[in-house]
Amino acid sequence: GAVVSQHPSWVICKSGTSVKIECRSLDFQATTMFWYRQFPKQSLMLMATSNEGSKATYEQGVEKDKFLINHASLTLSTLTVTSAHPEDSSFYICSARGTSNYGYTFGSGTRLTVV
């Protein structure tokens, strides 16, 4: 079945630094990638949607200059959290959608802790 590899699975960084999270679709072409954030004991909140080769579309309230999304190829999308602060500590999950009608494949998530 379709697999999305997400790395790293966890990362600890200092305030003010930037962190890059990668999601790769291993056996299908991800035409659309969705990025979610999940705070403890809460649901997944959609941050942005990106189509390969296009600029990402951000949800209301999500700072596009802080959360940089790149979807330069059909198998790779990255989320960069710039100038991270402790309040950015969260669980980040990607989801890729290929050409099938209904399939969404999720990465295993990245737990980001900013100290």
Partner 1 sequence: SQQGEEDPQALSIQEGENATMNCSYKTSINNLQWYRQNSGRGLVHLILIRSNEREKHSGRLRVTLDTSKKSSSLLITASRAADTASYFCATALRGATNKLIFGTGTLLAVQP
Binding of partner 1 by 45 (CB under 8 A): yes
Q: Do the beta carbons of residue 95 and residue 31 sit within 8 Å?
A: no
Tokens for 66?
């802080």
Nearer to partner 1, 61 or 86 (CB): 61
Q: How far apart are CA 52 and CA 41, in angstroms?
A: 32
Binding of partner 1 by 11 (CB under 8 A): no
Binding of partner 1 by 15 (CB under 8 A): no
Q: How far apart are CA 66 and CA 87, in angstroms?
A: 12
Kindly determine how many residues on this chain lie close enough to bind partner 1 according to the rule CB under 8 A: 25
Tokens for 44?
């997944």
Nearer to partner 1, 16 or 27 (CB): 27
Binding of partner 1 by 68 (CB under 8 A): no
Q: Where are the alpha helices (DSSP H) in 1-115?
A: none
Q: Which residues make up the interface to partner 1 (CB under 8 A)?
A: 32, 34, 36, 41-46, 49, 51, 57, 59-60, 91, 93, 95, 97, 102, 104, 106-109, 111
